[in-house]
Amino acid sequence: MTVRNLARVTVVANMVVVVIGLIVLALLPSAGRPEARVKVKPAPALPGARLPPPVSATAESARKAQANEAGLIPVIMYHRLLPKRIASIDRTPAQVRSELERLAKDNYVPITAAEFVSGTINTPAGTHPVVLTFDDGNPSHFAVDAGGMPKNDTAVGLIYEVAAKHPNFRPVATFWINRNPFGLKDPAQQAQAVKWLLGHGFEVANHTSSHPDLHRLTTKQVKEQIVRQERLLKKLGVPASTTFALPYGSRPKKLTAAHDGEWDGTAYHFDGVFLAGAEPSVSPYAKSFSRYAIPRIQSNGKHGDCRRWCTTYWLDWLDKHPQERYTSDGDPTHVSVPKKLEGKIISSKAKEIIAY
């Protein structure tokens, strides 16, 4: 498959994710479920999320690294982590651990969705950025134990577990949350959890207040859903979101309402809007980058509908087509590409192109 053919599966895949998502929503536990009381202690010592020190790339060093910063970047979408899967988009901790281990061994380095959208991609030469995203703020994504450490088999716990084994595997991810983040209903506990994540380099951002299918709403209702969640995030200490994930990947009838709008005196703007499937994204430096319709890849195997657009398929495909994958030159101030791809890059005052 060529890059030119990648977009062909997006529409079908998003429709599948919408249907699956509606089923999952119906299966979620009721709002009356007792919540765990979590007291977040001061941050323990964990692998750091700092970016590597900058280097100065040259044509020679870019060629040696086989840099291609016009290439494809996997943005991976996760939902619930359960010991026994209920819906097809659920993953077990063992499955997520295995996938993260594969990414680390294949020289992928996590960045946040905000870093990706802004073009702040600073990974070592020869490595490949990957964006780990978790939807809905499920309790399986983040919780801490009595010692203030991320609980085993939560998303954050698994990320740190893999990072401890693989020093280049930067422990960051993006959590797009709704009105009860991580199953917590107490505002103080919500704020503590969010503060912990932000303090460790994770991104926490807007996924609407109640997770509706935005295509079914009026434009005013779409804006209300986004603003209500943005106000909650502000109360929890989150800076204004720069990224937004569409619930079910479903786009509102008025497409611009997904990234710019105002409701009840509060305005919002997102630099990037993410879909729910079904392929790697082009580089944010590429002329073809569509920042308000960024595809993601569902974490899953190769069964059924996932034969062509879930992570196992795409990670295999990128391994077999390394020339199509984003490979870093190690220098965040330059964009390095083979000469034949120079015309695919957006020229920018902040970036200098190295074509080798």
Per-residue pLDDT, averaged over 154-176, amounts to: 97
- The residues near 5 (Cβ < 8 Å, ≥ 6 apart) are none
The residue range of the domain holding 278 is: 3-26+72-326
List residues bridging with 266 in a β-sheet.
263
pLDDT of 149 over the 60 cut: yes
Residue 173 has pLDDT above 70, yes or no: yes
Averaged confidence pLDDT in the chain: 89
What is the rounded CA–CA span in Å between residue 319 and residue 314?
Answer: 8
Q: Within a domain: residue 218? A: yes
Residue 163 located in a structural domain = yes
Which two structure tokens, joined as six digits, stand for 126?
């020869």
Question: In angstroms, how far is CA 28 from the centroid of its own chain?
Answer: 22
In this predicted structure, the answer to whether residue 91 has a pLDDT above a threshold of 90 is: yes
Average pLDDT over residues 334-352: 86
CB-based contacts of 245, cutoff 8 Å, min separation 6: 133, 135, 176, 205, 206, 207, 273, 274, 276
Is 166 within the bounds of a domain? yes
CATH code of 263's domain = 3.20.20.370
Q: Residue 61: which of 325, 323, 334, 283 has the closest Cα?
A: 334
The more confident residue out of 290 and 55 is: 290
Q: What's the pLDDT at 48? A: 80
336 domain residue, yes or no: no
Q: Which two tokens stand for residue 319?
A: 């391994």
In a domain, 304, yes or no: yes
Reading the block at residue 315, the tokens are 């990670």
Q: Which amino acid is at 53?
A: P
Given the structure tokens 């790339």, which residue do they identify? 57
Average pLDDT rounded to a whole number, residues 283-287: 96
The answer to the question of residue 355 being in a domain is no
Q: What is the pTM of this model?
A: 0.87
Number of domains in the chain: 1
Token readout for 321 is 């087509």
What is the C-alpha to C-alpha distance for residues 23 and 198, in angstroms, rounded to an integer?
31
Structure-block tokens of residue 169: 């595997």
25: pLDDT strictly greater than 60? no
Flag whether 49 is in a domain: no
How would residue 47 be classed by pLDDT, with cut points 50, 70 and 90? confident
Alpha carbons 40 and 54: distance in angstroms, whole number: 34
Report the run of H or E that residue 243 belongs to, with start and end.
strand 243-245
Contact 21, 248 (CB under 8 A): yes
Q: Is residue 51 part of a domain?
A: no
Strand pairing report for 108-111 and 334-337: unpaired
Strands 260-263 and 266-269: antiparallel
Indicate the DSSP class of residue 349: T
Question: What distance lies between CA 141 and its chain's CA centroid?
Answer: 13
Q: What is the pLDDT of residues 224-261, one digit of tens each?
A: 999 999 999 999 999 999 999 999 999 999 999 999 99
325 vs 38, higher pLDDT: 325
